[in-house]
Amino acid sequence: VLWSSSDDTVASVAADGTITALKAGNAVITATAEDSEGALTATCNVTVTTPVSGVELDKSEEELRVGETVQLTANVLPADADNKEIRWSVSDSSILSVEDGLVTALKGGEAYVNVATVDGNFQARCKVAVIVDATGVELDKTEETIQIGDTLQLNASVLPADATEKKVTWSVDDEEKAEVSEDGMVTAKVAGDVVVTATTVDGGFTAECTIHIEKKSPQTVSVTGVKLNKERATIGVKETLQLSASILPENASNKNVSWT
């Protein structure tokens, strides 16, 4: 039997009938047998396909706001692959939806858009961050009174609750009277009134707290006891004896005593 191919560039055939695929296309493999009555032939139609070797997306990262969309494009490799069918999916359907590569942002957060080839199950993905803009800010205190040297912690809540950027900056209108740290801790320095302001990094929304700073009240130290300089004494008629009382502790606030 003699073997032959109608297109050796597409498929070649060896003397034992082994066919080797060389490139995509079609070829007819013929087996020819000769005897005294003439040549006899049989044929086989061979289609050579190009298998998928991978898939790529035109974007690897994307940012959207709620309600926005973006079209992703997938390229199946190689370009002449026969089966270019792909499937789309998302890692969190509450954050994103996808249809034929069109991605829609549903709520704030991060999720992945995935694409996979039907042939070979090659995959690629795009990370999508859905941004929720800040609409305001609130403080847990709007007015407070503290004394010189005291501290007050203020806490800011950026609105809405699922806003992407929750950072705020702090400031005080009179730095001689009070100072405020990066985390909202206020320290009173001089008596008077100050206004502490929290400003959102996203959008520049503000909230204020008025703080009244008072002079430090003197600390009261309670009396714990009293002692006399003598426990027993003997004196004569018309003589005098001076007794003295010691209040405990020595730094007690009220050292007045009464005698009976």
pLDDT tens for 109-125 read: 999 999 999 999 999 99
Q: Is residue 36 very low, low, confident or very high in pLDDT (cuts 50, 70, 90)?
A: low
Judged against a pLDDT cut of 90, whether residue 219 lies above it is answered with no
Give the per-residue pLDDT at 38. Answer: 74
Judged against a pLDDT cut of 80, whether residue 35 lies above it is answered with no
Compute the average pLDDT of residues 133-151: 95
Give the per-residue pLDDT at 186. Answer: 97
Mean predicted lDDT score pLDDT of the chain: 94
CA 13 remoteness from chain centre:
60
The answer to whether the beta carbons of residues 119 and 85 sit under 8 Å apart is yes
pLDDT tens for 17-34 read: 999 999 889 999 999 998
The two three-digit tokens of residue 35, written as one number? 């005897």
The DSSP bridge partners found for residue 109 are 130
The answer to whether the beta carbons of residues 110 and 96 sit under 8 Å apart is no
Compute the average pLDDT of residues 210-233: 90
Supply the DSSP string of the chain, one letter for each residue.
-EEEES-TTTEEE-TTS-EEE-SSEEEEEEEEEEETTEEEEEEEEEEE-----EEEES-SEEEEETT-EEE--EEEESTT-S---EEEEES-TTTEEEETTEEEE-SSEEEEEEEEETTT--EEEEEEEEE----EEEES-SEEEEETT-EEE--EEEESTT-S---EEEEES-TTTEEE-TTSEEEE-SSEEEEEEEEETTT--EEEEEEEEEPPPPPP----EEEES-S-----TT------EEEESTT-S-------
**To the nearest whole percent, how much of the chain has pLDDT over 70?**
100
